[in-house]
């Protein structure tokens, strides 16, 4: 996804926080410069009433991400790792509830995703000729 200020990619795996940080930093796609998004960047993607993916399943009920359906690839998760940390814990954004959550940096039982963002390159904002 691209807009005038940011480009974004989604990891196809559900990494631990440290793995997510390494994946984003090592992403060489289109010249590199990728990182995990900030909490503020993820909050801008939260769209109450919209759904993407099938959502987290617990007690027979699904809790889908509330974001543009263009993000349907989020699959069974509603959480995305955030660049910020809280001590030894990692921070994620819960797209079902629109809230910040603090998780163990080694969290593996929940379906936490990793997105990578970077400043948009001028050539990405040019209309096709």
Predicted model pTM: 0.81
pLDDT digits (tens, 9 = 90+) for 93-127: 999 999 999 988 887 767 788 899 998 877 655 55
Q: Which DSSP category does 22 fall into?
A: H
pLDDT digits (tens, 9 = 90+) for 46-85: 999 999 988 888 899 999 999 999 888 777 878 899 998 7
* Averaged pLDDT of the chain: 83
How far apart are alpha carbons 66 and 56 in whole angstroms?
12
| Domain-wise residue ranges, the chain | 16-46+78-119
Q: What is the reported pLDDT for 77?
A: 77
Q: Which DSSP category does 86 fall into?
A: E
């Amino acid at each position: 996804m691209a807009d005038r200020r940011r480009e974004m990619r989604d990891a196809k795996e559900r990494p631990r926080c440290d793995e997510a940080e390494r994946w984003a930093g090592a992403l060489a796609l289109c010249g590199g410069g990728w990182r995990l998004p900030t909490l503020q960047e993820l909050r801008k993607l939260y769209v109450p009433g919209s759904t993407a993916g099938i959502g987290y399943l617990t007690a027979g009920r699904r809790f889908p991400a509330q974001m543009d359906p263009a993000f349907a690839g989020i699959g069974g998760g509603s959480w995305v790792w955030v660049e910020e940390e809280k001590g030894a814990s990692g921070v994620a954004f819960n797209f079902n509830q629109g809230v910040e959550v603090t998780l163990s940096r080694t969290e593996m039982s929940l379906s936490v995703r990793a997105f990578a963002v970077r400043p948009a390159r001028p050539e990405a904002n040019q209309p096709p000729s």
